[in-house]
Amino acid sequence: MEDRLVPMPEDWRRALAIVAHPDDLEYGAAAAVARWTSAGKEVAYLLVTRGEAGIDTMEPAEAARVREAEQRASAAVVGVESVEFLDHKDGVIEEGVALRRDLAAAIRRHRPEVVVTLNHQDTWGRNWWNTPDHRVVGRAVLDAVGDAGNRWIFTDLAEDGLRPWDGVRWVAVAGSPEPTHAVEVGEEDVERAVASLAEHRAYITALSDKEPAEYAREIITGAMDELAGRTEGRRAVAFRLYPRG
Ligand SMILES: [Zn+2]
């Protein structure tokens, strides 16, 4: 039997969630976001792309517009008003210094204590291969947290007024095949997470015959049921936590 997950620390005020695509946070993490915002914490979202390559039946320019709107609506459902897009290219996000610089700039601007991202490992577990964008962005986020705190890296950012921020205490990776911590959530948080995922209506409609709300409920509660053995049956969102300092 696998170990029980440890409760995630709650003595913080600001989080910045950085992911590759619209919908990445809604496939699980949003229930924790709902809990955090209802407890008075501030959470902002940063999307590296607009997910323009994510809908087979829709041209990228149109998909970018639709998915940005869906992401803003789904963020609002869980109490997130700040939603920014970096406009890297969906599907072919380039790993490297340019991406790290963009992420470090955002971390310096938002000054979060917690940074949330999505699974950067090769698989989701069970040999389900992860996508290149998730691998690249997750790893770059972990790297950029260090960059954000070092005044001698990206010195031009400081010249633009973005002073170093060394206050990130944890990076929390959602969707990890090796979670370490859990955020227990209530019924209301689960309902908001379901509604938040269901806002990705065009995306879900293109990949499933189910009603978005029905599809979203199955995904959100299914993931929580799978985790129940490690949370004493309580509903929770799992993260792999990387503490700093
Ligand atoms: Zn994604």
pLDDT tens, residue by residue, 177-202: 999 999 999 999 999 999 999 999 99
Tokens describing residue 140:
């770059």
Rg (the chain; Cα; Å): 17
What CATH number did the domain enclosing 203 receive? 3.40.50.10320
CA atoms within 13 A on the CB side of 104: 26
**For the segment 75-105, what is each residue's pLDDT rounded down to a tens digit?**
999 999 999 999 999 999 999 999 999 999 9
Rounded to the nearest angstrom, the distance between the alpha carbon of 175 and the centre of ligand 1 is 11
* CA–CA distances in Å: residue 33 to residues 3, 41, 125, 141, 160: 24, 9, 23, 18, 31
Rounded to the nearest angstrom, the distance between the alpha carbon of 226 and the centre of ligand 1 is 21
Query: Would you call 76 helix, strand, or coil by DSSP?
Result: helix
Would the pLDDT of 2 be above 90? no
Tokens describing residue 29:
């993490």
Cα(46)–Cα(231) distance, integer angstroms: 29
Tokens describing residue 78:
């869980």
Task: Give all strands (DSSP E) within the chain, no chain letters.
Answer: 6-7, 14-19, 42-47, 83-85, 114-118, 170-174, 181-184, 236-243
Burial 5-44 (b: 16+ CB within 10 A, else e): beebeeebebbbbbbbbbbbbbbbbbbbbbbbbeeebbbb
Q: Are 227 and 236 in contact (CB under 8 A)?
A: yes
Q: Which 8-state DSSP code applies to residue 123?
A: B
Rounded to the nearest angstrom, the distance between the alpha carbon of 151 and the centre of ligand 1 is 31
Rounded to the nearest angstrom, the distance between the alpha carbon of 14 and the centre of ligand 1 is 23
Query: Would you call 117 helix, strand, or coil by DSSP?
Result: strand
Residue 16 domain flag = yes
Residue 1 domain flag = no
Rounded to the nearest angstrom, the distance between the alpha carbon of 121 and the centre of ligand 1 is 13
Tokens describing residue 41:
């914490």
Rounded to the nearest angstrom, the distance between the alpha carbon of 24 and the centre of ligand 1 is 5
Rounded to the nearest angstrom, the distance between the alpha carbon of 155 and the centre of ligand 1 is 31
Query: Which residues face 42 on adjacent strands?
Result: 14
Q: At what angle do helices 60-77 and 187-198 cross, to 10 degrees?
A: 160
Residue 136 domain flag = yes
**% of the chain beyond a pLDDT of 70:** 99
**For the segment 204-242, what is each residue's pLDDT rounded down to a tens digit?**
999 999 999 999 999 999 999 999 999 999 999 999 999
Rounded to the nearest angstrom, the distance between the alpha carbon of 94 and the centre of ligand 1 is 15
Q: Are 37 and 78 in contact (CB under 8 A)?
A: yes
Q: How many domains would you assign to the chain?
A: 1
| pTM score above 0.85 | yes
Per-chain mean pLDDT for the chain: 96
Rounded to the nearest angstrom, the distance between the alpha carbon of 173 and the centre of ligand 1 is 13
Rounded to the nearest angstrom, the distance between the alpha carbon of 192 and the centre of ligand 1 is 20
Rounded to the nearest angstrom, the distance between the alpha carbon of 148 and the centre of ligand 1 is 24
Rounded to the nearest angstrom, the distance between the alpha carbon of 95 and the centre of ligand 1 is 16
Residue 186 domain flag = yes
- What does residue 218 show for φ and ψ, rounded to 5 degrees? -60, -40
Which range of residues forms the domain containing residue 105? 6-243
Tokens describing residue 188:
């209301």
Residue 119 domain flag = yes
Nearest one of 130, 121, 164, 161 to 144, comparing CA atoms: 164
